[in-house]
A and B are shown apart, each in its own frame.
Chain A
Amino acid sequence: MALKPSFSDEISNLLYAAHGNPINACIQCGTCSGTCPVANYMDQTPRRLIGMINADLKEDVLDCNTYWFCASCYHCTVRCPADIDIAGVMYAVKRYSIWNKTYSEDLVGPKFSEAFVKTIVRTGRSYEPILAPTYMFHFGPKDFFHEAVTASKMMLKGRIPVLPPRIKRLENFKNMIRKIIPLGESS
């Protein structure tokens, strides 16, 4: 009889090709939390998140902002005495939550990621002005204003392109992507 894999197994399986040890090698030493430059802003520190995954606390893990606030700086990864790729774990939980649409609605991270990916799939290149609306409307008025001022200053210095760039062999490129993931009609 096939058992449903536990949450910690599911996350481990998503750690595609990551080097290092499995998450259950964690000794809860806290080096990752002590190293993490974003820990103060996280609901749960990296150490706690790893512990929660190992305890299969699926809802609590997915509910917290920790993995979306991870900046992928790999500082924890290179310092972990148990040789766990913690940054890779954060990526795995991000993927899990995007696939299962379980992230909490007030986060900008997942929406930004999805919009970014859609732009690349459509043109082969990334383009800031198309991306901007997806996250800017989630900002409060103050942040929105700041972002607009910074963007227009960069525009004045010629540092933001006026037209979205595109690659030349776009059809081949899209067919290539179709072989990996199905593309929606809008893409």
Chain B
Amino acid sequence: MKKYAYFPGCSLEKMASSYHKSALETTEVFDIELQELDDWNCCGATTYFHVDAILAHTLVARNLAMAEKEGLDLVAPCSACYKNAYFTNDYIKNDPDLKEHINFALEEDDLQFNAEIEVFHLIDIFANDVGPDLIKEKVNNPLKGLIIAPYYGCQIVRPRKNGEEVENPQFFEDIISAMGAEPAYFPERLRCCGGSLIMTNRVAALNMVRILLQSAEKNGAHVIATACPLCQVNLECYQEQVNEEFGTDFKLPILYFTQLLGLALGISPKKLGIGIELVSATPVFSKLLPKEAN
């Protein structure tokens, strides 16, 4: 059994509870334990860095330090949390002054951080630790006939970490194929969803959502898979506002990749948090029904 410190982040508590549930259900199948950090704090999403960079790094470092204390690497399911955790860890590893400054503050909570851990996004765990071959082996309910658009979004791949592929990643497509589904050709898969602008520049954000929905729909996707709660909410909960603003008629389900993977692994929809969508996931299920039942 492999074990990680798990930092769910604020959105997974309620807004994205289905991501939380399905992450725990699916990792368990592969004998991976996600141990939630005790008393984690908000990492500031992207907003903290608007105000003070050192403070932002300190808040992130508190969570990292708690993982290090347990002797575990950290996994974050939210792309914004992941980016923060990855880069704070990286900066502290490379900047002794920053490390000292932050540790001076962490003392107040009896913590210390030596930057001796690694940080992963939840999807890294499936793409690398588990890998498509093992996924395929465990799939007992292949999602045959379902066309899934892999939405990478921004922060899983950007900024570039360790020289990784940023223009043409394939790991999401590989996971989708391993589920027995077909990855949609989705040229906008790396384009920003505008999530961080929805409160501050609504029309720009809605237009960014529109472009993604249009691209997925045009290419025959039945559902968009996401790996980030902010992208999920933006694409799903604002779909109706997009329709009103632009006179469109999108009804495209947006599910977490862990929910789709869970279905392929034969886990019940309820355990995967399916049923609290604002855009119904029914079209996904009707595609999966045996043809004669349609």
A47 within 8 A of B: no
- A159 pairs with B276, CB closer than 8 A: yes
Number of B interface residues in the complex (CB < 8 A): 67
- The CA of A143 and the CA of B109, in the complex, are separated in Å by 42
Q: Which residues of B contact A26 (CB under 8 A)?
A: none
What's the A-B contact tally at a CB cutoff of 8 Å? 182
Interface stretch among A4-12, A49-57, A169-177? A169-177
- The CA of A181 and the CA of B57, in the complex, are separated in Å by 13
Within 8 A of B (CB), among A93-120: 94-95, 98, 107-110, 112-114, 116-117, 120
Within 8 A of B (CB), among A124-140: 124-128, 135, 139
- A113 pairs with B237, CB closer than 8 A: no
B194 within 8 A of A: yes
A150 within 8 A of B: yes
Instruction: Provide the B114-152 mask, 1 if CB < 8 A to any CB of A, else 0.
Output: 000000000000000000000000000000000000000
- A108 pairs with B200, CB closer than 8 A: yes
Interface stretch among B24-32, B42-50, B219-227? B42-50
- B10 pairs with A180, CB closer than 8 A: no
- B197 pairs with A154, CB closer than 8 A: no
Q: List 15 A-B contacts (CB under 8 A).
A: A37-B194, A38-B192, A41-B201, A74-B155, A85-B159, A95-B49, A109-B50, A117-B48, A126-B42, A154-B15, A173-B109, A176-B105, A176-B106, A177-B55, A179-B104
- A177 pairs with B58, CB closer than 8 A: yes
Instruction: Provide the B18-46 mask, 1 if CB < 8 A to any CB of A, else 0.
Output: 00000000000000000000011110111
- The CA of A146 and the CA of B244, in the complex, are separated in Å by 10
- B108 pairs with A172, CB closer than 8 A: yes
Within 8 A of A (CB), among B223-274: 237-238, 240-241, 244
A75 within 8 A of B: yes
B281 within 8 A of A: no
Interface stretch among B69-77, B173-181, B202-210, B286-294? B202-210
> Among B46, B53, B211, which residue has its beta carbon within 8 angstroms of that of A17?
B53
- B110 pairs with A150, CB closer than 8 A: no
- The CA of A158 and the CA of B45, in the complex, are separated in Å by 22
Q: Which residues of A contact B191 (CB under 8 A)?
A: 37, 73, 75
Chain A residues in contact with chain B, CB under 8 A?
14, 16-17, 19, 37-38, 40-41, 68-69, 71-75, 77-78, 85, 87, 91, 94-95, 98, 107-110, 112-114, 116-117, 120, 124-128, 135, 139, 143, 146, 150, 153-154, 157-161, 165, 167-169, 172-173, 175-181
Q: Give the Cβ gap from A69 to chain B, nearest Cβ, in Å.
A: 5
Q: Which residues of B contact A73 (CB under 8 A)?
A: 154, 158, 191-192
Q: Give the Cβ gap from A108 to chain B, nearest Cβ, in Å.
A: 5
- B208 pairs with A125, CB closer than 8 A: no
Q: Which residues of B contact A124 (CB under 8 A)?
A: 41-42
- B58 pairs with A176, CB closer than 8 A: yes
- A120 pairs with B201, CB closer than 8 A: no
- The CA of A116 and the CA of B80, in the complex, are separated in Å by 15
Q: Give the Cβ gap from B31 to chain A, nearest Cβ, in Å.
A: 30
